[in-house]
Amino acid sequence: MRRTSTLSVLVAFAVCAAAIVAHARGPVDRTIRPAPLPDHRTATSWRGALSDGARTGVSAATRDDPSTGFRDTLWIFDSDFEEHGGHNDYWVTHDMSGTLPNPNYWHKHLPFGAGAFPHLGLNSWWCGAAGNPCWMQPQGYGNRWTECLERHFELAEWSTGSDAVTFEFDQRFAMEHNYDYGYVDVVSGPDTTWTTVASYTNPGFYGDPGMSQDWDSFYGHQVLDMSAYAGSYVSVRFRFESDEAYSSSDEPNNPPQNSCLNGAWELDNFVWRVNGFPVWSDDCEDEGDNEWMHESVLDPTGQTGVVFYRGLYGVDLHTHRDPDCWTHGGWMYGAVDPVSAMVVDAQDSWLVSPPIDISGAPRLVGQWEMWVDCPRLSHDYYDLWLGTHDIDECAQEWNVLRDEEEGVWYGGPMGGVWSDDWESGAMIGMRSWGRTGSRSRGTCGTRRIRTHPSSTTPGSSWTGNGSASRPANPRPGGR
Residue 243's identity, in one-letter code, is D
Whole-angstrom distance, CA of residue 424 vs CA of residue 360: 9
Please give the Cα distance from 325 to 465 (Å, whole number).
7
Determine the pLDDT at residue 83: 87
Q: How far apart are CA 414 and CA 123, in angstroms?
A: 58
CA 411/CA 374 separation, integer angstroms:
5
| DSSP label at residue 406 | S
Residues in a beta bridge with 151: 236
Residue-level pLDDT at 410? 82
Edge-to-edge order in the sheet of strand 195-200? 146-153, 234-241, 181-188, 195-200
> What Cα–Cα distance (Å) separates residue 143 from each residue in 147, 250, 253, 348, 425?
11, 8, 15, 17, 19
Cα 389 to Cα 437: distance, rounded to the nearest angstrom = 39
Distance between CA atoms of residues 255 and 261, nearest Å: 9
Half-sphere exposure of 126 (CA within 13 A, CB side): 23
Q: Give the per-residue pLDDT at 40.
A: 24
* Cβ 420 vs Cβ 460: under 8 Å: yes
Per-residue pLDDT of the chain (479 residues; tens, 9 = 90+): 433 344 444 333 333 222 222 222 222 223 444 544 332 222 222 222 232 222 222 222 234 445 444 434 566 788 888 888 888 888 888 888 888 778 899 999 999 988 889 999 999 999 999 988 888 899 999 988 999 999 999 999 999 989 999 999 999 999 999 999 999 999 997 778 999 999 999 999 988 999 999 999 999 999 999 999 999 999 999 999 998 888 998 889 999 999 999 999 999 999 999 999 999 999 999 999 999 999 887 788 888 888 888 888 888 888 877 766 666 678 888 888 888 878 888 888 888 888 877 776 666 777 788 888 888 887 788 887 777 777 777 776 777 777 767 777 888 788 778 777 765 433 333 333 332 222 333 444 554 454 443 333 333 433 444 433 322 222 222 22
CA torsion through residues 211, 216, 220, 223, sign: negative
- Altogether, the residues listed in the chain come to a count of 479
Contact 348, 433 (CB under 8 A): yes
Can you give the pLDDT at residue 323?
63
Cα distance between residue 281 and residue 287, in whole Å: 15
Peptide bond into 346 cis (omega under 30): no
Q: What pLDDT sits at residue 468? A: 36
Cis amide linkage into residue 190, ω under 30° from 0: no
pLDDT confidence of residue 354 = 81
Distance CA 354, CA 9 (A): 8
Helix (H) or strand (E) holding 273: strand 265-274
> What is the C-alpha separation between 76 and 78, in angstroms, rounded?
7
- What does residue 397 show for φ and ψ, rounded to 5 degrees? -70, 140
pLDDT at 73: 52
Phi, psi of 157 (to 5 degrees): -90, -10
Task: Using alpha carbons, select from 218, 110, 115, 119 the residue that is nearest to residue 172.
Answer: 218
CB atoms inside a 10 Å sphere around CB 128: 24
Backbone angles phi, psi at 260, to 5 degrees: -125, 10
pLDDT given for residue 276 in this prediction: 96
Domains of the chain: 3-98+303-476 (2.60.120.260), 106-282 (2.60.120)
From the number of C-beta atoms within 10 Å of its C-beta (0-12, 13-18, 19+), residue 285 rates as middle
As a whole number of angstroms, the distance between CA 46 and CA 60 comes to: 8
